[in-house]
C-alpha cells in the first residue's frame, strides 16, 4: 500500500482509432502535461501515458510503439480488433488499475483541454474519487452536433439513465473506483452511465472544448444515435414500460372506436369506405412492429450478456506486463 504523503501515480488512458494524423501532434502535449504535473510534485514520476490502439487500420499502432521506444513514459496496448470507443477505454482502465493510483481517460484528438488535469488531480487530493470533466461551452462544435448532443443528454436522463450533463469520457477515476467498476460485468457498456452508479465522492471540473486537431470525427450521426440507443437500453427498462403504456392507450382508443361504431349503427348511420379501416390496420401493424423491435433489442442484450464474452482482448503491449 502506498503512503498518503507520496504523490499519486497517474495513468492517462487514451483510446486511439485510426489517429495517425493526430497522435504525432497530441502525444507530446500529453507528455508535457505529465512532466509539468510531476515537476510540481502533484503526481509521481512513475506516471504513464497509456495508449489503447482500438484495432486501427492505419499506422496508429506503429506510431505508438515508436513513441514507447523513444520515451518510457509512453506505453501502449493494442486490442485484437476494433471494438469501439467504450471498450477501448475500459480495456485501458482495467490494464491501468493495478499499476496506478489514479487514471484520467481522455480522447486523443486534442478536443478536451488537457489543462483541466491540474484541477482534476487537485480534486483527487482533496478527497474526490471521481472527477468528471464537463464542457463549459460547446461553441466550436457545429450547431447540429451541439443540439443533437443536448437532445441526447435530455433523452438519456428522461429515460432514467443518470448521466452528467455535457460530460463525455474525460474523467479522473481512482484505483478504488476502478476495482469496483470491474465488478460491473455487463458486456454492453456505457461508461458515462455506469460510473455514477459506482458511487464514491465525486465532483466536476469545467473546461472549454476545442476543435479536433486533425483527422475526422468517428462519431457521425449514425454512431451517435447508436450510442444513445445503447445508453438507454443498457441502463434503463423505461422504454419497455412506455410500450405497455402506449399499448394500453391504443387499446383504449380502439375500444372507444368500437363504441362509437355501435352507437352509429343504432343511429342508422352506415359505415363509409374501407380506406379508414385499412389505415388503422396499417397503423396498428406499425406500432406493433416498433414495440416488438424495442422488446427484441432487450432480448438481444440478454442474449449477449448470457454469453459473457470478453469485453476486450489485448493482443500486444509495448511493455512486459508480467
Ligand atoms: N475511438 C476509438 N474507437 C472507435 C472510435 C473512436 O477508440 O471505434 C477513439 C478515437 O480515436 C478518439 C475517441 O475515441 O480518441 C473519440 O472519438 P472521436 O474524436 O472520433 O469522437 P467525437 O469527439 O467526435 O465524439
Ligand atoms: Mg473527438
Question: Ligand 1 pocket, 15 CB below 6 A?
Answer: yes
The finding on whether 169 has its CB within 6 A of some atom of ligand 1 is no
Indicate if the pLDDT at residue 41 is higher than 70: yes
pLDDT for 1: 45
Phi, psi of 228 (to 5 degrees): -60, -45
- When pLDDT is cut at 50, 70 and 90, the band that residue 289 belongs to is confident
Ligand 1 center–CA 14 separation, angstroms? 10
Instruction: Answer whether 226 contacts ligand 1 (Cβ < 6 A).
Output: no
In degrees, rounded to 5, the angle at the alpha carbon of residue 155 between the alpha carbons of residues 287 and 131 is 150
- Please tell me the distance from the alpha carbon of residue 139 to that of residue 144, in angstroms, as a whole number: 11
Mean pLDDT on 191-205: 90
Mutational pocket test of ligand 1: of 27, 83, 109, the residue with most ligand atoms within 8 Å of the beta carbon: 109
- For the chain, counts of helices (H) and of strands (E): 10, 8
In short, whether 16's Cβ falls inside 6 Å of ligand 1 is: yes
Higher model confidence: residue 219 or residue 172?
172
Which residue lies with its CA nearest to atom 24 of ligand 1?
217
* pLDDT for 179: 94
Could you give the domains of the chain? 10-236+309-317 (3.90.550.10)
More confidently predicted of 282 and 296: 296
pTM above 0.85, yes or no: no
Contact 43, 79 (CB under 8 A): no
Q: What is the mean pLDDT of residues 40-55?
A: 94
Tens of pLDDT along 93-138? 999 999 999 999 999 988 889 999 999 999 999 999 999 999 887 6
Asked if 86 contacts 191 with a C-beta cutoff of 8 angstroms, the reply is: yes
What is the rounded distance in angstroms from the CA atom of residue 176 to the CA atom of residue 48? Answer: 18
Q: Longest Cα pair distance anywhere in the chain, in angstroms?
A: 92
Nearest to 55 by CA among 6, 18, 104: 18
What number is the average pLDDT over the span 68-85? 93
Whether 141 lines ligand 1, by a CB cut-off of 6 Å, is: no
d(CA 13, ligand 2 centre) in Å: 15
For Cα atoms 131, 195, 56, give the angle at the middle one, nearest 5 degrees. 90
Amino acid at each position: 500500500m502506498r503512503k498518503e504523503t507520496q504523490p499519486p501515480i497517474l495513468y492517462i488512458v487514451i483510446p486511439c482509432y485510426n489517429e495517425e494524423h493526430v497522435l504525432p501532434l497530441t502525444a507530446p502535449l500529453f507528455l508535457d502535461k505529465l512532466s509539468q504535473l510531476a515537476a510540481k510534485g502533484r503526481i509521481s514520476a512513475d506516471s504513464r501515458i497509456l495508449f489503447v490502439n482500438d484495432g486501427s487500420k492505419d499506422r496508429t499502432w506503429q506510431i505508438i510503439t515508436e513513441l514507447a521506444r523513444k520515451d518510457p513514459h509512453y506505453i501502449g496496448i493494442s486490442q485484437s480488433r476494433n471494438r469501439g470507443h467504450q471498450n477501448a477505454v475500459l480495456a485501458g482502465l482495467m490494464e491501468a488499475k493495478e499499476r496506478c493510483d489514479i487514471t484520467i481517460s481522455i480522447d486523443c484528438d486534442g478536443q478536451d483541454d488537457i489543462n483541466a488535469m491540474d484541477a482534476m488531480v487537485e480534486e483527487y487530493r482533496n478527497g474526490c474519487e471521481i472527477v468528471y470533466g464537463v464542457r463549459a461551452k460547446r461553441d466550436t462544435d457545429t450547431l447540429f452536433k451541439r443540439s443533437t448532443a443536448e437532445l441526447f443528454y435530455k433523452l438519456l436522463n428522461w429515460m432514467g439513465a443518470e448521466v452528467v450533463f455535457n460530460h463525455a469520457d474525460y474523467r479522473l477515476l481512482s484505483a478504488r473506483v476502478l476495482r469496483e467498476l470491474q465488478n460491473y460485468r455487463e458486456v454492453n457498456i456505457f461508461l458515462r452511465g455506469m460510473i455514477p452508479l459506482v458511487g464514491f465522492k465525486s465532483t466536476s471540473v469545467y473546461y472549454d472544448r476545442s476543435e479536433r486537431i486533425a483527422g475526422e470525427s468517428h462519431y457521425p450521426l449514425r454512431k451517435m444515435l447508436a450510442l444513445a440507443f445503447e445508453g438507454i437500453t443498457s441502463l434503463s427498462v423505461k422504454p419497455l414500460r412506455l410500450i405497455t403504456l402506449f399499448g394500453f392507450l391504443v387499446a383504449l382508443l380502439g375500444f372507444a372506436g368500437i363504441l362509437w361504431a355501435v352507437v352509429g349503427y343504432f343511429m342508422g348511420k352506415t359505415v363509409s369506405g374501407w380506406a379508414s379501416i385499412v389505415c388503422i390496420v396499417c397503423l396498428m401493424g406499425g406500432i406493433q412492429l416498433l414495440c416488438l423491435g424495442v422488446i427484441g433489442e432487450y432480448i438481444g442484450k440478454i442474449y449477449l450478456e448470457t454469453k459473457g464474452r470478453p469485453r476486450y482482448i489485448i493482443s500486444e503491449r509495448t511493455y512486459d506486463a508480467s
